[in-house]
Amino acid sequence: MDKFPTWHLHLGGRVQGVGFRPFVYRLAGEMGLPGWVQNTADGVHIEYNADEEIAKKFYASVLDHAPPLALVTFHHQQAAAPVVYESFNIVDSSVHFPSKLLLSPDFATCERCRAEMADPANRRYLYAFTTCTQCGPRFSIVGQLPYDRANTTMADFGMCSRCEAEYHDPADRRHFSQTNSCPDCAVRMQLWDNRHNLVEEAQLAILHRICSLWNDGKIVAIKGIGGYLLTCDAANERAVGELRLRKYRPAKPFALMFPDLVALKSVAHVSPAEARELTSVAAPIVLLRLLENGSNNLAVSQIFPGLTRAGAMLPYAPLYELLLRNFARPIVATSGNVSHAPIVFTDEAALGELSTLADYVLVHDRAIVAPQDDSVVAYTRYAQRRIVLRRSRGFAPYFGQKNPLRPESTLLAMGAMSKSTFALAHLGDIHVSQYLGDTDDYDAQISYEKTLDRFLNLFQAQPAIVLADRHPGYFTSKLGKALAGRWNGTRIEVPHHEAHFAAVLGEHDLLEAAEPILGVVWDGTGLGDDQQIWGGEFFIFREKKFSRIAHFAYFDHFLGDKMATEPRLSALALANDLSSARPILQPKFSATEWRNYQKLIAGNSLKTSSVGRLFDAVASLLGLIDRASYEGEAALLLEEAASRFFRDELVITVEWLGPGDPQELLSALSLVNEVIGKIKAGEEVARIAAWFHVRLVVAIREVALRHGGRKVCFSGGVFQNGLLVDLLVKLLGADYELFFNRELSPNDENISFGQLMWYQATAGK
């Protein structure tokens, strides 16, 4: 072999925990190449002997035939110092490089592992923690990089002789599977009751016992991949109602878990795109429309009161696969926490905090180090546009695309207050954290800080630049200021709505676009440059500058966050001066409230342009809701009402499309005045709600016509509304290129990534 030169190949991205080294080992064996492959903190390194032609073929084969779950974001091959190798080996991992990797998310159970669990002849038959190189936990269990068993919470589990043999066998799909175990070296479960009594330890007996408990109407907290889920029989109205009471969650929908796709299709419409999402390696919750005449034994009024869509998922972990296969019916599966608190993920906390919520608690001894909620995705009804509503388990934390940001310095973007995430730009890669909740809650603040510390330790990173929202009162803004001071770094304030716009530009690689781009950013709350509350904004991005060119006319904003939880206050703020609105408005308030609010409005100076609050106002005026029990409830009910008007075909009444004066179209007061006129005329609620959605699109069309460009970006929480997105596609799609958030949510989860993109486009150019 001394006549062949030595080559060194370096690959980075998501290349650990996906069977990459065994794949390289087998490929080298097939091509007869001696050398080695190694995991390091900056990716996978391969060194081998080959002539130049064979080296090119090997290089191409590695890239073209990489494992399905791999994501190679950079690669480079070059000649190396000559070394003669006798055989090809997998060598021990090294940490002598700076950490430059994409953390792999947690993967849903693969079909081959499912088949093994169902096969009585297989030694993993009914084993609740079956995994291989193509499935199982990753991000939730890794303590440090590179991703090797010793660096995960599997480090304390010794492998039995048969698992050890699989682990070292290049022909086995569990070759170097870091989560490998079986019933002989098992992850062990225990079932406890809420009085701290150990109920069951026999593994198979536990599976049967939980199904019996569901049948008896009990609530069971179960430790999953990213934390605990609270579960009960989805057909048992009393059990679901009890869960609502205990969780202090009066109306927000619960997610459901179905045994399989067949069972789900008997209850809900499932499009091909939705089926692919449900069965993907991420296996998120997907919002689905219920069949009107489906075989539905669900406790509908308790699970998703007043709605026609349900959040559904399939079993993504072996434990859930076995339980649901045995139970053969859907269960409620909601985050194990009190409303607004972070998900519980330690056994100690589960046996303590969840004992007031659940009748029984199932723990196991594989620890979780990165808690995550289930991700949530929706597809619009007509155009089948994908909308990420929550990006967490299965998606976070890697950002799976070619990133437009290549900073020389390490950057940390702190995100916003609600729907919090942070984003770390380090050594050319971008890592966007999982959804971390609303950081006006103390427990969420602690969770945010712990997760951030973990990321910084994993990547051995100390940011030189900290980007934070301009709002000084946000927890993330205050923490960003403190961290920049601690690190002697630079802190930069980023306008909230420009960050939203920048997130879409970054996702679609538009930061270098030559032509001007229109950005439509509609949400509930964000501090504007003039110290008012923005939320109905139009921007132009031109020559790497953001300019606000239009916005919804201001109206009163008062009582802070209370306005977001009581839609009647938005209705009052908008319609208080309309005499025609008085008979609708006044009954929503007590006499004392009415007098006090009149005085408050008279002396109020804070204004808002928020389209989110406009949705709230219209929902209240139409009698849909006056007090919300969860964020976005009013907008969701208004979307549901409008969808009832359109039903199966998006046919739009022609007179609704008439152009208008942009000043009138962008006047929330004018829109509300028309709504009141339609109410007085006796128009049905669904028709008015549909008209309202269409007129918002007409307003965007008129601004776009005056802008003159062809590219339009949309972001902000309002664009979680699938009907609004469908109307935009139908009415504007032929004349404009429309860009929406694709892998990130349009809500404030995208702010951290948007802050990075804003920096790249402006201060960092």
Strand partners, 71: 14
Label residue 475 by pLDDT band (50, 70, 90): very high
Q: Say which amino acid occupies 633.
A: E
Name the residue among 417, 611, 418, 609 with its Cα closest to residue 530: 609
DSSP codes of every residue in 178-222: TT---GGG---EEEEETTS-EEE--HHHHHHHHHHHHHTT--EEE
- pLDDT of 102 higher than 90: no
Q: State pLDDT tens for residues 724-735.
A: 999 999 999 999
Q: State pLDDT tens for residues 521-570.
A: 999 989 999 999 999 999 999 989 999 999 999 999 998 889 999 999 99
For residues 177 and 346, is the Cβ–Cβ distance under 8 A? no
- pLDDT of 7 higher than 50: yes
- pLDDT of 128 higher than 70: yes
Q: What is the pLDDT of residue 401?
A: 53
Element of type H or E holding 680: helix 668-680
For residues 285 and 332, is the Cβ–Cβ distance under 8 A? no
For residue 339, what are its two tokens? 């409303």
Q: State pLDDT tens for residues 315-372.
A: 999 999 999 999 999 999 999 998 778 999 999 999 999 999 999 999 999 999 999 9
For residues 277 and 247, is the Cβ–Cβ distance under 8 A? no
Mean pLDDT of the chain: 92
Label residue 614 by pLDDT band (50, 70, 90): very high
Q: What is the pLDDT of residue 406?
A: 56
Q: What is the pLDDT of residue 188?
A: 97
Measured CA to CA, the distance from residue 742 to residue 751 in angstroms comes to 14
In the block, which residue shows the tokens 């004392």? 592
Name the residue among 425, 426, 429 with its Cα closest to residue 413: 425
Classify 360 as helix, strand or coil: strand
Q: State pLDDT tens for residues 370-396.
A: 999 999 999 999 999 999 999 999 999
Mean pLDDT value across residues 496-505: 97
Element of type H or E holding 74: strand 71-79
Q: What are phi and psi of 348, to 5 degrees?
A: -60, -45
Label residue 42 by pLDDT band (50, 70, 90): confident
Q: What is the pLDDT of residue 1?
A: 42
Residue 707 DSSP label: H
Q: State pLDDT tens for residues 415-440.
A: 999 999 999 998 878 899 999 999 98
Q: What is the pLDDT of residue 764?
A: 55
Q: State pLDDT tens for residues 279-310.
A: 999 999 999 999 987 667 899 989 998 889 99
Measured CA to CA, the distance from residue 334 to residue 326 in angstroms comes to 20
